[in-house]
Each structure stands twice: as C-alpha cells, then as structure tokens.
Amino acid sequence: MNFRTLLSYITPPKVPLLICAVLMLGGTCISLINPLVAGELTRKLLGEANTSGYSTALIILAWGALFAARSLLELANGYYLGLVGERMATELRNRVYEHMQLLPLPWHQARRRGQVLTLLSNDTDMISDFVTGTVLPLLPTSLTLLGAFVMMASLDPSIAILVTCGMPLYVLLLKIIGRKMRPLSRTWVDQYSELISRAEENLSLLAAIKSFSRERLEREAFRQENQQLERTWQRQLKLQTLLSPAVDLLAGVGVLTMLWLGSRHIEQGLLDPAELVSLLLYANLLIAPLRSLADVYGRLQQARGAAERLLELFSEQPEPLNDGGTPLPPVKGSIVFTGVKYAYPERKPLFEHLNLIIDAGETVAITGENGAGKSTIAHLLMRLIPASAGRILIDGHDISTAELSSVRAQVGLVAQHVLLLNGTIADNIAYSRPGASQEDIRKAAHAAHAADFIEALPQQYETIIGDEGIKLSGGQRQRLSLARTLLKDPPILILDEATSMFDPEGEASFISECHDLIRQRTVVLITHRPASLALADRILRLEDGELAPTLQASAT
C-alpha cells in the first residue's frame, strides 16, 4: 500500500514537525553518548590509567544531566507529536468529509451509514496514530540503529559484523508474520464497519425494535458480531505478540555471543572491560529500536486496511458543483425530457426512452405504482443522479452541460421523507438560504401555514426539534420542509408524496393552502393519493418506463 499517496492529501504542520525532528535528533545524540560516559565511568571505577582527568563525581553528575536532558526532550517531543497528529487527523477528516459530500447520491445509497462513518472516524484516526506514533519515530529509531552500529564498529569491528549477521533472520521473521497479518487487518476494519452500521441502524429503529419485542434478538445479533470482531483482533494480537519474544530471543543470543567474543578479546588485549561495557550498552540501544520496529510492522499491517479504504474513497469521482458548465440564468420553468434512459446499478432499466414536456407555470401530477420510477424523475431533474442517455432541458438549456449548482438553485424539493436537523426551527427553515433574516423565515413559515403551530410553542422559532425532527408530528415536519423550500423561492417545485404524513383532514387543508403557493411556479406533483390530484392541470401515469395521460378518476 502506497502510504505516500494517502499522505499527499494531508499538509503536515511544518513548524511543529521541524521541532519534533530537532527534539528527536537531540534525544538520539544523547542516547549515543551515554554508553561512552558509562565506559569512562567504568575505567574510573577500575582504576585504569587511560582515563580522563575528570573526577568520578563529575562523570556521574554529567551522566545524570544527560538523563535529565533526554527526559525533557522526550516530554517536549511528546507534546509536539500530539500536536502534529491532531492537526493531521483534523485535516484528513476534513478532506474525507468534503470528498464524501461531493460524491454522487448513488455512491451513498450503495453503502450503509455505519460504513461511511467508520471512514470518517476510525480510519482517519488510525492513519493519524500510525503517522505520529509509528512513522515519525522511525527517524530517531533509524539514526539510533545507524549510530550504535558505527560506534560499535569503532570499538570492535568484528563484534559489529557479528551483530549484522542476525539482521536477515529478523527481516525474514517480519515478512512471514506480516504476510499473515495483512488480510486480518483488512478483515478487522470491515467487521468493525459492519458492527457500527448495525448499532447505528438499530438505534435509529429503536421504536420498531421495541414494538416488535426484538430487543433480545438484536442484542444477541450485536453480541455475535462483536465477538467475531474480538476473535479477529485476537488473531492479529497473537501474530503481533510473536514479534517481541522473537526479537528478545535473537537479542539474547547476540548478547551472549558478544560476551563470549568480548571476553576473548579482553584476554587477547584487543579490548578493555570499559569498552566491553560500552559495546553491551550499544547492543542494548540496538535491541530497543528493533523491538519498536517489530511493533511498527504490526501497526503497519493494521493501518494498511484503513489506508486502502481511504484511498478507495478518494479514487471515487466527485460531482463538481462548479464544473465549468454554463450557469443557468433565472428560468420560467419549462421542463423537457427527451429519450431519457436510466437504470440503477445491477438492475434492468427503469426508463428506456422517457419523454416529458411541462410548460412553465404548469402543475403536472405523475402517478404510478411503487417502484415505477416517479421519484427517480425528480432526482434526474435535480441532477442528483445522471441520465444514462437522452437530454433533460430547463427553459431549453441542457442541464447536463449547465453548472450543477445553478441547476439545483432552480428546483425545490419537498420529499416524502422529510430531512430535518437537530437544531432550532429557524435553523431548519433557513437551511435552504444561509443568512436569511428572521423576517424572511417567518414569511416562509406563514406561506407554508406552519406559523400557527410554531408560534404556539414556548420557544417558537428557537425550539429544538431533535434528531430528524422527532419532537414534531409528521404533518408539522412536512410543513417545515415546505417552508424551507419556499424560502429558497425556486421557479420549479417538486412535491414528492408531500401529503403522505397528513391525515385526510390535514391533507385537504394542505391542498387548499397549496393553491396559492403554486401560482407562477412549475410544479411536478408526484403522488398516488386521489385528493392531491386536485392541484394538477394534467395527470400522467408512469408505467413500464413510459408516461401517458390519464383521467383523474382512473389516475390511481
């Protein structure tokens, strides 16, 4: 996996990163000096003649100062590493979220919400932790390995060569275990995503779960998936924990060999005891980075699955809102579909050759069986999904070559499933026009006949409505959705089963009120309810991918 490709989406903070590098370099230098100081202290204690002129107390004091300096450097480095990691995680989350928002609607429809949320949370955090906890510390680790080897070679070249003989075994061990860990890492990430998807879905359907008394069954299903996730993690853990004992075993054999060879060299006068002490401490400096490299390799395999998923996300082609097309001028609202074809992935085409003409200011109702493609026509008109063939025109302008944001600015949608935010009523109405004044918000609420129930609430327009407007009735949510669309003031209005949340009395009232709202607008009325058809100038029935006029009495 090319992590460099993924990291190209992130701009690391240069100053904190530079500070980290300096602090790590300083800590590495101190680590390489310590064995020399230990060797000098050994000479003093043994009373050898070839010692420096410094006293034992001064050497111990200097050694303590080095330990203190290294601790301070590690403290500062820990802070700046955390700073770098959080900034990188923040930027990566922003890039992931921005890319997700720009992906076309079919991409989101093909995935569970939990899978998408895992990309935004777990995967981005895993990459950030890998970079700051693994990749960046590789700099001092590599310098320590190189420096310790050079210092060992300067003291006793034969012992340094002996140490390098064990490296191929270490690398081979990493490759064998890594080959087994890689598929497990991807499996764990996928299973975690599915677990989050199940939890998100069940919590959003809690009322249905309770009404069908499925609490025990859902808890058991969640528990089983969670246990499967745990088993996968345990398999990874077993492989990863094999690395450290293996490194310790190799290190133990190496140290014993060094002691044997070093003692022979002392007997031969090629080495003194102080130098052997320094060699052993340098060997210890080698062991710690090698053990950390084993941990790095394990984390690399874990991060690989997250990186693959994020790169797959970034490889998806986004829909550009400002795509270089010609902006649509203010339109009157005529709509023409000519030979339009569309099929959902892995399904037979909904339309092979769909034709539709709606004059500006006309209200046309489209009826048909569930699944016939009525809502798909609305999505095609707003370019939420692309037509496979044919042309869609608004006031004679081909929307496929028009600037995407200008197309959607001309069309307002009141859908069957009302999408509301966990915020105030005012926030939800103003969502279609950021920065709208309170007066404009109130006017839109009055136009949608929502003002009566809003102003009867204690907090009125500042009332918090909960997730998806759960604190409101279905009819109240529908009126808020209509008010939001009217605030946008589009010349083309799509009412997609907009009366589905009303009882017969509420539907009759809504239809009566809509007569004033649809004046001077082009309205596409998607419905199967007879009462709503009273609004239409024409009624078309969608069947077998074709639109045909029908009498109101037989429209349903």
| Structural domain ending residue among the three candidates 315, 346, 362 | 315
Comparing 181-195, 205-219, 383-397, which segment has the lowest mean pLDDT? 205-219
Share of the chain above pLDDT 70, in %: 83
Query: pLDDT digits over 300-344, tens only?
Result: 766 777 777 888 888 888 776 666 677 888 888 888 888 888 887
Asked if residue 399 is part of any domain, the answer here is: yes
Mean pLDDT across 375-397: 85
Q: What are the start-end ranges of the H helices in 47-166? A: 56-102, 105-109, 113-118, 124-130, 138-155, 157-165
What contacts 538, CB < 8 A, 6 or more positions away? Answer: 362, 363, 364, 365, 549
Whole-Å CA distances, 18 to 81, 265, 374? 11, 43, 58
Give me the pLDDT at residue 555, please. 39
Q: What is the pTM of this model?
A: 0.68
What contacts 383, CB < 8 A, 6 or more positions away? Answer: 319, 399, 400, 404, 407, 408
What contacts 297, CB < 8 A, 6 or more positions away? Answer: 174, 177, 178, 243
Number of domains in the chain: 2
Give me the pLDDT at residue 509, please. 67
Asked if residue 60 is part of any domain, the answer here is: yes
Mean pLDDT across 513-538: 77
- Say if residue 159 is in the same domain as residue 72: yes
- Say if residue 256 is in the same domain as residue 294: yes
Q: Which two tokens stand for residue 346?
A: 């892995």
Q: With 80 as the cut, is the pLDDT of residue 255 above it?
A: no
- Say if residue 266 is in the same domain as residue 295: yes
- Say if residue 390 is in the same domain as residue 473: yes
| Structural domain ending residue among the three candidates 315, 348, 378 | 315
- Please give the full DSSP string across 269-331, using - where no structure is assigned: TS--HHHHHHHHHHHHHHHHHHHHHHHHHHHHHHHHHHHHHHHHHHHSPPPPSS-SPBPPPP-
Q: With 80 as the cut, is the pLDDT of residue 237 above it?
A: no
Q: With 60 as the cut, is the pLDDT of residue 1 above it?
A: no
In degrees and rounded to multiples of 5, residue 357 shows phi and psi of: -130, 125
Strand partners, 540: 366, 549
CATH of the domain at 81: 1.20.1560.10
Q: With 60 as the cut, is the pLDDT of residue 143 above it?
A: yes
Catalytic residues: 497
Give me the pLDDT at residue 378, please. 85
CATH of the domain at 486: 3.40.50.300
Name the more confident of 345 and 298. Answer: 345
- Say if residue 253 is in the same domain as residue 360: no
What contacts 204, CB < 8 A, 6 or more positions away? Answer: none
Share of the chain above pLDDT 90, in %: 0
| Structural domain ending residue among the three candidates 281, 315, 349 | 315
- Say if residue 281 is in the same domain as residue 311: yes
Mean pLDDT across 489-508: 74
Asked if residue 394 is part of any domain, the answer here is: yes
Q: With 50 as the cut, is the pLDDT of residue 395 above it?
A: yes
- Say if residue 370 is in the same domain as residue 231: no
Q: pLDDT averaged over the chain?
A: 77
Q: Which two tokens stand for residue 306?
A: 């997250």
Asked if residue 329 is part of any domain, the answer here is: no
Residue 51's pLDDT band (boundaries 50, 70, 90)? low
- Say if residue 365 is in the same domain as residue 298: no
Asked if residue 324 is part of any domain, the answer here is: no
Give me the pLDDT at residue 194, please. 77
Asked if residue 356 is part of any domain, the answer here is: yes
Strand partners, 198: none
- Say if residue 389 is in the same domain as residue 526: yes
Q: With 80 as the cut, is the pLDDT of residue 380 above it?
A: yes
- Say if residue 267 is in the same domain as residue 390: no
- Say if residue 262 is in the same domain as residue 206: yes
Asked if residue 41 is part of any domain, the answer here is: yes
- Say if residue 400 is in the same domain as residue 487: yes
Query: pLDDT digits over 534-544, tens only?
Result: 777 888 888 87
Q: With 60 as the cut, is the pLDDT of residue 347 above it?
A: yes
Q: With 80 as the cut, is the pLDDT of residue 372 above it?
A: no
Q: With 50 as the cut, is the pLDDT of residue 205 above it?
A: yes
Q: What is the radius of gyration, based on Cα positions, of the chain?
A: 35
Whole-Å CA distances, 134 to 14, 197, 301, 388? 18, 29, 12, 47
Range of the domain at 65: 3-315
- Please give the full DSSP string across 341-369, using - where no structure is assigned: EE--TTS--SEEEEEEEE-TT-EEEEEE-
Mean pLDDT across 92-99: 84
Q: With 50 as the cut, is the pLDDT of residue 556 above it?
A: no
